[in-house]
Amino acid sequence: MPEPYISRIDVASLTAIDVHTHAETDGCGHFSLPESLRAGADRYFGVEGGGPPDLDQLAAYYRERRMAAVVFTVDAESALGHTRIANEAVVEGASRNADVLIPFASIDPAKGRAGVREARRLVEELGVRGFKFHPSVQAFYPNDRAAYPLYEVLEELGVPALFHSGQTGIGSGLPGGGGIRLKYSNPLHLDDVAVDFPDLTIVIAHPSFPWQDEALAVASHKPKVYIDLSGWSPKYFPPQLVRYANSLLKHKVLFGSDFPLISPDRWLADFDKLDIKDEVRPMILKDNAVAALGLTGAVLESAT
Protein backbone atom coordinates (compact mmCIF):
# COMPACT_ATOMS: atom_id res chain seq x y z
CA MET A 1 0.00 0.00 0.00
CA PRO A 2 1.55 3.35 -1.01
CA GLU A 3 1.75 6.31 1.30
CA PRO A 4 -1.16 8.74 0.90
CA TYR A 5 -0.74 11.52 -1.61
CA ILE A 6 -0.05 14.91 -0.03
CA SER A 7 0.14 17.80 -2.46
CA ARG A 8 3.22 20.01 -2.54
CA ILE A 9 1.92 22.14 -5.41
CA ASP A 10 2.59 25.86 -5.20
CA VAL A 11 -0.38 27.11 -7.20
CA ALA A 12 0.88 30.70 -7.35
CA SER A 13 4.07 29.62 -9.14
CA LEU A 14 2.29 27.72 -11.92
CA THR A 15 1.81 28.96 -15.46
CA ALA A 16 -1.05 26.50 -16.07
CA ILE A 17 -2.88 23.43 -14.78
CA ASP A 18 -3.51 20.64 -17.30
CA VAL A 19 -6.57 18.76 -16.07
CA HIS A 20 -6.32 15.88 -18.54
CA THR A 21 -3.24 13.66 -18.87
CA HIS A 22 -2.91 9.89 -19.06
CA ALA A 23 -0.84 7.32 -17.21
CA GLU A 24 -0.43 5.01 -20.21
CA THR A 25 2.16 2.71 -18.63
CA ASP A 26 3.08 1.53 -15.15
CA GLY A 27 6.75 1.74 -16.11
CA CYS A 28 7.10 -2.03 -15.83
CA GLY A 29 5.94 -3.04 -19.30
CA HIS A 30 2.18 -2.97 -18.73
CA PHE A 31 -0.01 -0.52 -20.66
CA SER A 32 -3.44 0.90 -19.99
CA LEU A 33 -4.92 -0.39 -23.27
CA PRO A 34 -4.58 -3.60 -25.30
CA GLU A 35 -1.90 -3.30 -27.98
CA SER A 36 -4.31 -2.99 -30.92
CA LEU A 37 -6.24 -0.11 -29.34
CA ARG A 38 -3.07 1.61 -28.15
CA ALA A 39 -1.44 1.44 -31.58
CA GLY A 40 -4.63 2.67 -33.24
CA ALA A 41 -4.85 5.67 -30.92
CA ASP A 42 -1.20 6.51 -31.62
CA ARG A 43 -1.91 6.51 -35.36
CA TYR A 44 -5.04 8.63 -34.89
CA PHE A 45 -3.16 11.29 -32.91
CA GLY A 46 0.10 11.03 -34.87
CA VAL A 47 2.13 9.92 -31.85
CA GLU A 48 5.62 8.90 -32.87
CA GLY A 49 8.01 6.28 -31.40
CA GLY A 50 9.52 5.85 -27.99
CA GLY A 51 6.42 4.71 -26.18
CA PRO A 52 4.45 6.65 -23.59
CA PRO A 53 6.25 8.33 -20.67
CA ASP A 54 6.13 6.82 -17.21
CA LEU A 55 4.90 9.02 -14.37
CA ASP A 56 8.34 10.31 -13.43
CA GLN A 57 9.00 11.32 -17.04
CA LEU A 58 5.57 12.92 -17.29
CA ALA A 59 6.22 14.87 -14.10
CA ALA A 60 9.61 16.08 -15.34
CA TYR A 61 7.99 17.29 -18.54
CA TYR A 62 5.44 19.39 -16.63
CA ARG A 63 7.93 20.56 -14.01
CA GLU A 64 10.11 21.98 -16.78
CA ARG A 65 7.12 24.00 -18.00
CA ARG A 66 6.05 25.14 -14.50
CA MET A 67 2.71 23.40 -14.92
CA ALA A 68 0.74 20.96 -12.78
CA ALA A 69 -1.13 18.04 -14.29
CA VAL A 70 -4.04 15.83 -13.32
CA VAL A 71 -3.10 12.26 -14.23
CA PHE A 72 -5.21 9.11 -14.48
CA THR A 73 -5.64 5.81 -16.22
CA VAL A 74 -8.88 4.10 -17.35
CA ASP A 75 -10.20 0.95 -15.69
CA ALA A 76 -12.18 -0.90 -18.36
CA GLU A 77 -11.45 -4.47 -17.32
CA SER A 78 -15.02 -5.66 -17.82
CA ALA A 79 -15.45 -4.35 -21.37
CA LEU A 80 -11.91 -4.88 -22.66
CA GLY A 81 -10.77 -7.91 -20.68
CA HIS A 82 -7.49 -6.09 -20.13
CA THR A 83 -5.88 -5.68 -16.71
CA ARG A 84 -5.86 -2.05 -15.66
CA ILE A 85 -2.95 -0.02 -14.41
CA ALA A 86 -3.46 -0.03 -10.65
CA ASN A 87 -4.79 3.16 -9.12
CA GLU A 88 -2.18 2.66 -6.40
CA ALA A 89 0.56 2.94 -9.02
CA VAL A 90 -0.83 6.32 -10.10
CA VAL A 91 -0.93 7.48 -6.47
CA GLU A 92 2.64 6.27 -5.94
CA GLY A 93 3.91 8.13 -8.99
CA ALA A 94 2.02 11.29 -8.08
CA SER A 95 3.34 11.14 -4.51
CA ARG A 96 6.92 10.98 -5.80
CA ASN A 97 6.13 14.08 -7.86
CA ALA A 98 3.63 15.85 -5.62
CA ASP A 99 4.94 19.25 -6.65
CA VAL A 100 3.40 18.85 -10.13
CA LEU A 101 1.07 15.82 -10.30
CA ILE A 102 -2.51 15.43 -9.04
CA PRO A 103 -3.75 11.80 -8.94
CA PHE A 104 -7.19 10.83 -10.18
CA ALA A 105 -8.36 7.22 -9.99
CA SER A 106 -10.50 5.19 -12.38
CA ILE A 107 -12.95 2.45 -11.41
CA ASP A 108 -14.95 0.35 -13.83
CA PRO A 109 -18.63 0.92 -12.90
CA ALA A 110 -19.23 -2.77 -13.63
CA LYS A 111 -17.39 -3.57 -10.37
CA GLY A 112 -20.46 -2.63 -8.36
CA ARG A 113 -20.13 -2.61 -4.59
CA ALA A 114 -16.46 -3.62 -4.73
CA GLY A 115 -15.81 -0.52 -6.83
CA VAL A 116 -17.68 1.65 -4.36
CA ARG A 117 -15.54 0.33 -1.50
CA GLU A 118 -12.40 0.90 -3.53
CA ALA A 119 -13.39 4.49 -4.33
CA ARG A 120 -13.88 5.31 -0.66
CA ARG A 121 -10.55 3.73 0.30
CA LEU A 122 -8.68 5.54 -2.47
CA VAL A 123 -9.92 8.93 -1.30
CA GLU A 124 -9.92 8.42 2.47
CA GLU A 125 -6.69 6.42 2.77
CA LEU A 126 -4.61 7.36 -0.29
CA GLY A 127 -5.63 10.95 -0.97
CA VAL A 128 -6.96 10.53 -4.53
CA ARG A 129 -8.34 13.87 -5.74
CA GLY A 130 -10.89 12.80 -8.38
CA PHE A 131 -12.10 10.05 -10.75
CA LYS A 132 -11.98 9.51 -14.50
CA PHE A 133 -14.71 7.71 -16.48
CA HIS A 134 -14.64 6.79 -20.17
CA PRO A 135 -18.18 5.69 -21.09
CA SER A 136 -17.29 4.44 -24.59
CA VAL A 137 -14.32 2.34 -23.45
CA GLN A 138 -16.06 1.19 -20.26
CA ALA A 139 -19.28 0.49 -22.24
CA PHE A 140 -21.80 2.18 -19.94
CA TYR A 141 -24.18 5.11 -20.04
CA PRO A 142 -23.19 7.67 -17.39
CA ASN A 143 -26.82 7.92 -16.24
CA ASP A 144 -27.12 4.15 -15.73
CA ARG A 145 -28.47 3.78 -12.17
CA ALA A 146 -26.01 0.94 -11.60
CA ALA A 147 -23.24 3.57 -11.45
CA TYR A 148 -25.09 5.78 -8.97
CA PRO A 149 -23.68 4.23 -5.76
CA LEU A 150 -20.22 5.15 -7.06
CA TYR A 151 -21.27 8.74 -7.69
CA GLU A 152 -22.82 8.91 -4.22
CA VAL A 153 -19.43 8.25 -2.66
CA LEU A 154 -17.70 10.82 -4.86
CA GLU A 155 -20.31 13.45 -4.00
CA GLU A 156 -20.09 12.63 -0.30
CA LEU A 157 -16.29 12.88 -0.29
CA GLY A 158 -16.26 16.05 -2.40
CA VAL A 159 -14.09 14.85 -5.29
CA PRO A 160 -14.84 15.59 -8.96
CA ALA A 161 -15.79 13.14 -11.70
CA LEU A 162 -14.33 13.65 -15.17
CA PHE A 163 -16.13 11.97 -18.09
CA HIS A 164 -14.89 11.44 -21.63
CA SER A 165 -17.39 12.80 -24.14
CA GLY A 166 -17.84 12.69 -27.91
CA GLN A 167 -15.87 10.73 -30.45
CA THR A 168 -12.74 8.95 -29.28
CA GLY A 169 -9.44 8.21 -30.95
CA ILE A 170 -9.46 4.84 -29.18
CA GLY A 171 -10.57 2.30 -31.77
CA SER A 172 -10.71 4.87 -34.56
CA GLY A 173 -9.89 3.31 -37.93
CA LEU A 174 -9.91 -0.25 -36.62
CA PRO A 175 -12.47 -2.77 -37.93
CA GLY A 176 -15.73 -2.03 -36.17
CA GLY A 177 -13.98 0.76 -34.28
CA GLY A 178 -12.26 -1.88 -32.18
CA GLY A 179 -15.64 -2.62 -30.60
CA ILE A 180 -15.83 0.88 -29.06
CA ARG A 181 -19.33 2.38 -29.24
CA LEU A 182 -19.64 6.16 -29.43
CA LYS A 183 -23.26 6.28 -28.23
CA TYR A 184 -22.29 6.04 -24.57
CA SER A 185 -20.40 9.35 -24.65
CA ASN A 186 -23.15 11.81 -25.53
CA PRO A 187 -22.72 14.50 -22.83
CA LEU A 188 -26.49 14.89 -22.55
CA HIS A 189 -26.44 11.70 -20.42
CA LEU A 190 -24.52 13.73 -17.84
CA ASP A 191 -27.47 16.06 -17.40
CA ASP A 192 -29.22 13.31 -15.42
CA VAL A 193 -26.11 12.83 -13.27
CA ALA A 194 -25.92 16.58 -12.59
CA VAL A 195 -29.60 16.63 -11.54
CA ASP A 196 -29.38 13.55 -9.33
CA PHE A 197 -26.05 14.57 -7.74
CA PRO A 198 -26.24 18.36 -7.52
CA ASP A 199 -23.18 18.65 -5.27
CA LEU A 200 -20.94 16.52 -7.50
CA THR A 201 -18.44 18.46 -9.62
CA ILE A 202 -18.58 17.07 -13.15
CA VAL A 203 -16.05 17.76 -15.90
CA ILE A 204 -17.11 17.03 -19.48
CA ALA A 205 -13.87 16.18 -21.27
CA HIS A 206 -13.09 17.36 -24.80
CA PRO A 207 -14.96 19.29 -27.46
CA SER A 208 -17.84 16.82 -27.64
CA PHE A 209 -18.08 16.09 -31.37
CA PRO A 210 -20.75 15.54 -32.66
CA TRP A 211 -22.58 16.75 -29.52
CA GLN A 212 -20.88 20.08 -28.81
CA ASP A 213 -24.15 21.94 -28.34
CA GLU A 214 -25.39 19.36 -25.84
CA ALA A 215 -22.24 19.83 -23.75
CA LEU A 216 -22.58 23.62 -23.83
CA ALA A 217 -26.22 23.36 -22.79
CA VAL A 218 -25.50 21.08 -19.82
CA ALA A 219 -22.56 23.19 -18.62
CA SER A 220 -24.58 26.38 -18.96
CA HIS A 221 -27.58 24.97 -17.11
CA LYS A 222 -25.94 23.03 -14.28
CA PRO A 223 -23.77 25.05 -11.84
CA LYS A 224 -21.21 22.32 -11.07
CA VAL A 225 -20.56 21.13 -14.63
CA TYR A 226 -17.32 22.19 -16.37
CA ILE A 227 -15.82 21.50 -19.80
CA ASP A 228 -12.18 20.63 -20.43
CA LEU A 229 -10.65 21.43 -23.82
CA SER A 230 -8.41 18.37 -24.18
CA GLY A 231 -8.02 16.02 -27.11
CA TRP A 232 -8.24 18.65 -29.84
CA SER A 233 -5.91 21.32 -31.10
CA PRO A 234 -7.59 24.67 -30.34
CA LYS A 235 -7.44 25.59 -34.03
CA TYR A 236 -10.16 23.00 -34.61
CA PHE A 237 -12.51 24.15 -31.83
CA PRO A 238 -16.10 24.71 -33.02
CA PRO A 239 -16.96 28.43 -33.13
CA GLN A 240 -19.76 28.06 -30.58
CA LEU A 241 -17.31 26.57 -28.08
CA VAL A 242 -15.00 29.57 -28.47
CA ARG A 243 -17.95 31.95 -28.15
CA TYR A 244 -19.19 30.32 -24.92
CA ALA A 245 -15.64 30.13 -23.50
CA ASN A 246 -15.39 33.89 -23.98
CA SER A 247 -18.74 34.63 -22.36
CA LEU A 248 -21.27 32.42 -20.57
CA LEU A 249 -18.76 29.70 -19.66
CA LYS A 250 -15.65 31.80 -19.07
CA HIS A 251 -15.48 30.51 -15.47
CA LYS A 252 -16.20 26.88 -16.43
CA VAL A 253 -13.79 26.01 -19.24
CA LEU A 254 -10.52 24.25 -18.38
CA PHE A 255 -7.17 23.72 -20.08
CA GLY A 256 -6.51 20.07 -20.83
CA SER A 257 -4.16 18.55 -23.39
CA ASP A 258 -4.69 14.74 -23.47
CA PHE A 259 -0.94 14.25 -23.05
CA PRO A 260 0.85 12.15 -24.22
CA LEU A 261 -1.53 11.95 -27.18
CA ILE A 262 -1.45 15.73 -27.61
CA SER A 263 1.36 17.74 -26.06
CA PRO A 264 0.67 20.90 -24.06
CA ASP A 265 3.29 22.65 -26.20
CA ARG A 266 1.27 22.05 -29.34
CA TRP A 267 -2.01 22.86 -27.59
CA LEU A 268 -0.74 26.13 -26.11
CA ALA A 269 0.85 27.26 -29.38
CA ASP A 270 -2.52 26.93 -31.10
CA PHE A 271 -4.36 28.42 -28.12
CA ASP A 272 -2.20 31.55 -28.45
CA LYS A 273 -3.73 32.10 -31.90
CA LEU A 274 -7.32 31.54 -30.75
CA ASP A 275 -9.66 34.52 -30.41
CA ILE A 276 -9.89 34.40 -26.62
CA LYS A 277 -10.17 37.57 -24.55
CA ASP A 278 -7.07 38.54 -22.60
CA GLU A 279 -8.91 38.45 -19.28
CA VAL A 280 -10.30 34.96 -20.03
CA ARG A 281 -6.99 33.27 -20.91
CA PRO A 282 -5.69 32.95 -17.32
CA MET A 283 -9.08 31.63 -16.22
CA ILE A 284 -8.90 28.82 -18.77
CA LEU A 285 -5.24 28.05 -18.20
CA LYS A 286 -5.29 27.94 -14.40
CA ASP A 287 -7.88 29.83 -12.36
CA ASN A 288 -10.92 27.75 -13.33
CA ALA A 289 -9.07 24.51 -12.54
CA VAL A 290 -8.19 25.81 -9.07
CA ALA A 291 -11.92 26.26 -8.44
CA ALA A 292 -13.12 23.05 -10.12
CA LEU A 293 -10.54 20.85 -8.42
CA GLY A 294 -10.80 22.56 -5.04
CA LEU A 295 -7.07 23.20 -5.11
CA THR A 296 -6.92 26.33 -3.00
CA GLY A 297 -7.98 24.72 0.27
CA ALA A 298 -6.32 21.40 -0.46
CA VAL A 299 -2.96 22.90 -1.37
CA LEU A 300 -2.83 25.38 1.48
CA GLU A 301 -3.85 22.72 3.97
CA SER A 302 -1.25 20.26 2.72
CA ALA A 303 1.47 22.89 2.87
CA THR A 304 0.86 23.83 6.51
Q: 220 pLDDT exceeds 60?
A: yes
- Tell me whether strands 161-164 and 131-133 are parallel, antiparallel or unpaired: parallel
Nearest to 71 by CA among 133, 21, 132: 21
Residue 263 has a pLDDT of: 94
How far lies 182's CA from each of 19, 142, 166, 169, 300, in Å? 23, 13, 7, 11, 40
Q: Is the pLDDT of residue 49 over 70?
A: no
Summarize pLDDT for 150-176 with one digit per residue, the tens. Answer: 999 999 999 999 999 999 988 888 899
158/295 Cα distance (integer angstroms): 12
Confidence of residue 46 (pLDDT cuts 50, 70, 90): low
Helix (H) or strand (E) holding 113: helix 112-126
Residue 22 and residue 258 in contact, taking contact as beta carbons nearer than 8 Å:
yes
Residue 298 has pLDDT above 60, yes or no: no
221-275: per-residue pLDDT in tens? 999 999 999 999 999 999 999 999 999 999 999 999 999 989 999 999 999 999 9
pLDDT at residue 297 in the model: 47
Q: Is the model's pLDDT at 301 over the cut of 50?
A: no
The CA distances from residue 76 to 16, 113, 132, 284, in Å, are 30, 16, 11, 30
Check whether 106 has a pLDDT greater than 90. Answer: yes
Rounded to an integer, the average pLDDT of 142-157 is 98
Q: CB–CB of 5/147 below 8 Å? A: no
The pLDDT confidence band at residue 302, using thresholds 50, 70 and 90, is very low
Tell me the pTM.
0.93
Checking if the pLDDT of 53 tops 60, the result is: yes
CB atoms within 10 A of CB 270: 16
Q: Cα 268 to the chain's mean position, in Å?
A: 18
- Biggest CA-to-CA distance, the chain: 53
Give mean pLDDT, residues 32-42: 65
What pLDDT does residue 300 have? Answer: 40
With 90 as the cut, is the pLDDT of residue 30 above it?
no
State in Å, rounded, how far the first CA of the chain is from the last one: 25
The pLDDT, as a whole number, for residue 2 is 81
Q: Which domains does the chain have, with CATH numbers?
A: 11-303 (3.20.20.140)
* Percent above pLDDT 90 for the chain: 81
Q: Work out the number of other CB atoms within 10 angstroms of the CB of residue 123.
A: 21
What's the average model confidence in pLDDT over 136-152?
Answer: 98
pLDDT number for residue 180: 93
67-72 sheet: strands from edge to edge: 16-22, 67-72, 101-103
pLDDT at 187 over 60: yes
Highest mean predicted confidence (pLDDT) among 37-51, 93-107, 169-183: 93-107
